[in-house]
Structure 1
Amino acid sequence: MDAAKPVRSRIVDMPDGRFAVMAVLASGKVFRRKRLATLAEAEDAVDCLRAVMAACGAPVVVEASIRGGASVKVRVGQALGSDGP
Protein backbone atom coordinates (compact mmCIF):
# COMPACT_ATOMS: atom_id res chain seq x y z
CA MET A 1 0.00 0.00 0.00
CA ASP A 2 1.35 3.43 -0.97
CA ALA A 3 1.81 6.06 1.71
CA ALA A 4 -0.81 8.79 1.67
CA LYS A 5 0.33 12.07 0.19
CA PRO A 6 0.59 15.00 2.59
CA VAL A 7 -2.16 17.56 2.97
CA ARG A 8 -0.94 21.16 2.75
CA SER A 9 -2.52 23.48 5.26
CA ARG A 10 -2.18 27.10 6.24
CA ILE A 11 -3.80 29.66 8.49
CA VAL A 12 -4.94 32.75 6.62
CA ASP A 13 -5.20 36.14 8.32
CA MET A 14 -8.28 37.67 6.69
CA PRO A 15 -8.79 41.41 6.05
CA ASP A 16 -11.71 41.54 8.53
CA GLY A 17 -9.42 40.45 11.39
CA ARG A 18 -10.70 36.89 11.52
CA PHE A 19 -8.83 33.78 10.45
CA ALA A 20 -9.40 30.87 8.10
CA VAL A 21 -7.74 27.50 7.67
CA MET A 22 -7.15 26.23 4.14
CA ALA A 23 -6.25 22.63 3.39
CA VAL A 24 -5.18 21.46 -0.07
CA LEU A 25 -5.19 17.75 -0.92
CA ALA A 26 -2.62 16.25 -3.29
CA SER A 27 -5.37 16.25 -5.95
CA GLY A 28 -5.61 20.03 -5.68
CA LYS A 29 -9.04 20.00 -4.00
CA VAL A 30 -9.30 22.87 -1.50
CA PHE A 31 -11.15 22.66 1.79
CA ARG A 32 -11.54 25.55 4.18
CA ARG A 33 -12.85 26.55 7.54
CA LYS A 34 -13.49 30.26 7.72
CA ARG A 35 -14.66 32.94 10.12
CA LEU A 36 -12.50 31.76 13.01
CA ALA A 37 -12.44 34.57 15.58
CA THR A 38 -8.96 34.03 17.04
CA LEU A 39 -5.61 32.61 16.05
CA ALA A 40 -6.00 30.06 18.86
CA GLU A 41 -9.28 28.89 17.31
CA ALA A 42 -7.55 28.55 13.91
CA GLU A 43 -4.69 26.58 15.49
CA ASP A 44 -7.25 24.27 17.14
CA ALA A 45 -8.81 23.71 13.70
CA VAL A 46 -5.38 22.72 12.33
CA ASP A 47 -4.90 20.32 15.28
CA CYS A 48 -8.28 18.73 14.49
CA LEU A 49 -7.27 18.42 10.82
CA ARG A 50 -4.03 16.72 11.87
CA ALA A 51 -5.93 14.22 14.02
CA VAL A 52 -8.40 13.35 11.26
CA MET A 53 -5.71 13.04 8.60
CA ALA A 54 -3.49 10.95 10.90
CA ALA A 55 -6.34 8.45 11.13
CA CYS A 56 -6.22 8.28 7.32
CA GLY A 57 -2.44 7.95 7.29
CA ALA A 58 -1.91 11.33 5.63
CA PRO A 59 0.46 13.81 7.25
CA VAL A 60 -0.47 17.49 7.42
CA VAL A 61 2.19 19.97 6.34
CA VAL A 62 1.50 23.43 7.75
CA GLU A 63 2.86 26.11 5.44
CA ALA A 64 3.70 29.69 6.38
CA SER A 65 0.61 31.78 6.99
CA ILE A 66 -0.48 34.38 4.48
CA ARG A 67 -2.10 37.76 4.87
CA GLY A 68 -5.53 38.41 3.39
CA GLY A 69 -5.56 38.95 -0.36
CA ALA A 70 -2.33 37.06 -1.13
CA SER A 71 -2.38 34.14 -3.52
CA VAL A 72 -1.37 30.49 -3.14
CA LYS A 73 -2.07 28.71 -6.44
CA VAL A 74 -5.75 29.44 -5.86
CA ARG A 75 -6.94 32.88 -4.94
CA VAL A 76 -7.80 33.17 -1.26
CA GLY A 77 -11.19 34.67 -2.15
CA GLN A 78 -12.04 31.63 -4.29
CA ALA A 79 -10.88 29.15 -1.69
CA LEU A 80 -12.63 30.88 1.19
CA GLY A 81 -15.80 31.86 -0.62
CA SER A 82 -16.91 35.38 -1.32
CA ASP A 83 -19.93 35.58 0.95
CA GLY A 84 -19.98 38.45 3.43
CA PRO A 85 -19.26 38.41 7.17
Structure 2
Amino acid sequence: MAKPVECRIVDMPDGRFAVVAVLASGKVFRRVGLATMAEAGESVEVLRAVMAACGAPLIQAASDPPAPGNGVSLVSLPSRAARRA
Protein backbone atom coordinates (compact mmCIF):
# COMPACT_ATOMS: atom_id res chain seq x y z
CA MET A 1 0.00 0.00 0.00
CA ALA A 2 1.29 3.47 -0.90
CA LYS A 3 2.11 5.79 2.00
CA PRO A 4 0.66 9.29 2.31
CA VAL A 5 2.48 12.34 0.96
CA GLU A 6 2.55 15.48 3.11
CA CYS A 7 2.12 18.74 1.21
CA ARG A 8 2.31 22.42 2.03
CA ILE A 9 2.30 25.75 0.22
CA VAL A 10 5.15 28.00 1.27
CA ASP A 11 4.93 31.80 1.09
CA MET A 12 8.46 32.74 -0.01
CA PRO A 13 10.22 35.96 1.11
CA ASP A 14 10.28 37.25 -2.49
CA GLY A 15 6.45 37.22 -2.64
CA ARG A 16 6.17 34.08 -4.75
CA PHE A 17 4.98 30.66 -3.57
CA ALA A 18 6.37 27.14 -3.53
CA VAL A 19 4.69 23.77 -3.15
CA VAL A 20 6.62 21.33 -0.97
CA ALA A 21 5.79 17.63 -0.85
CA VAL A 22 7.42 15.25 1.64
CA LEU A 23 7.29 11.49 1.06
CA ALA A 24 7.02 9.06 3.98
CA SER A 25 10.72 8.27 3.44
CA GLY A 26 11.57 11.91 4.15
CA LYS A 27 12.50 12.79 0.56
CA VAL A 28 11.44 16.36 -0.25
CA PHE A 29 10.20 17.66 -3.60
CA ARG A 30 9.65 21.35 -4.32
CA ARG A 31 8.04 23.38 -7.06
CA VAL A 32 9.18 26.98 -6.66
CA GLY A 33 8.53 30.29 -8.38
CA LEU A 34 4.73 30.13 -8.47
CA ALA A 35 3.48 33.70 -8.90
CA THR A 36 0.12 33.47 -7.13
CA MET A 37 -1.63 31.45 -4.46
CA ALA A 38 -4.08 30.30 -7.15
CA GLU A 39 -1.19 28.93 -9.23
CA ALA A 40 0.17 27.14 -6.15
CA GLY A 41 -3.30 25.73 -5.47
CA GLU A 42 -3.50 24.41 -9.04
CA SER A 43 -0.12 22.75 -8.57
CA VAL A 44 -1.39 21.06 -5.41
CA GLU A 45 -4.49 19.79 -7.22
CA VAL A 46 -2.32 18.27 -9.98
CA LEU A 47 -0.18 16.64 -7.29
CA ARG A 48 -3.33 15.38 -5.53
CA ALA A 49 -4.58 13.79 -8.80
CA VAL A 50 -1.22 12.12 -9.47
CA MET A 51 -1.01 10.79 -5.92
CA ALA A 52 -4.59 9.46 -6.09
CA ALA A 53 -3.73 7.62 -9.32
CA CYS A 54 -0.82 6.01 -7.47
CA GLY A 55 -2.98 5.17 -4.47
CA ALA A 56 -1.10 7.53 -2.15
CA PRO A 57 -3.24 10.09 -0.34
CA LEU A 58 -2.05 13.70 -0.18
CA ILE A 59 -2.35 15.11 3.34
CA GLN A 60 -1.82 18.54 4.83
CA ALA A 61 1.10 19.13 7.13
CA ALA A 62 -0.08 18.30 10.65
CA SER A 63 1.62 21.17 12.46
CA ASP A 64 0.22 24.02 10.38
CA PRO A 65 -3.30 25.39 9.95
CA PRO A 66 -4.78 24.78 6.49
CA ALA A 67 -4.85 27.59 3.95
CA PRO A 68 -8.38 28.76 3.15
CA GLY A 69 -10.22 26.52 0.72
CA ASN A 70 -7.59 23.97 -0.28
CA GLY A 71 -6.82 21.92 2.85
CA VAL A 72 -3.10 22.46 2.40
CA SER A 73 -0.88 24.28 4.86
CA LEU A 74 0.40 27.76 4.11
CA VAL A 75 3.76 28.47 5.69
CA SER A 76 5.41 31.90 5.62
CA LEU A 77 9.19 32.06 5.55
CA PRO A 78 11.00 35.06 7.03
CA SER A 79 12.76 37.42 4.67
CA ARG A 80 16.52 37.10 4.29
CA ALA A 81 17.03 40.30 6.27
CA ALA A 82 14.95 38.94 9.17
CA ARG A 83 16.87 35.65 9.11
CA ARG A 84 20.22 37.49 9.34
CA ALA A 85 19.14 39.55 12.38
Q: Work out whether 1:62 is the aligned partner of 2:60.
A: yes
- Alpha-carbon deviation of 1:46? 0.3
Shift of 1:11: 0.1
Identity %: 67
For residue 32 of structure 1, what is the aligned residue in structure 2? 30
- Structure 2: unaligned runs, 5 residues or longer: 62-72, 79-85
Q: TM-score, normalised by structure 1?
A: 0.75
Dislocated runs of 4+, deviation >3 Å: none
Runs of 5+ unmatched residues, structure 1: 70-85
Match of 2:11 among 3, 10, 13: 13
Q: Secondary structure at the match of 1:16?
A: coil
- The match for 1:52 among 50, 53, 58 is 50
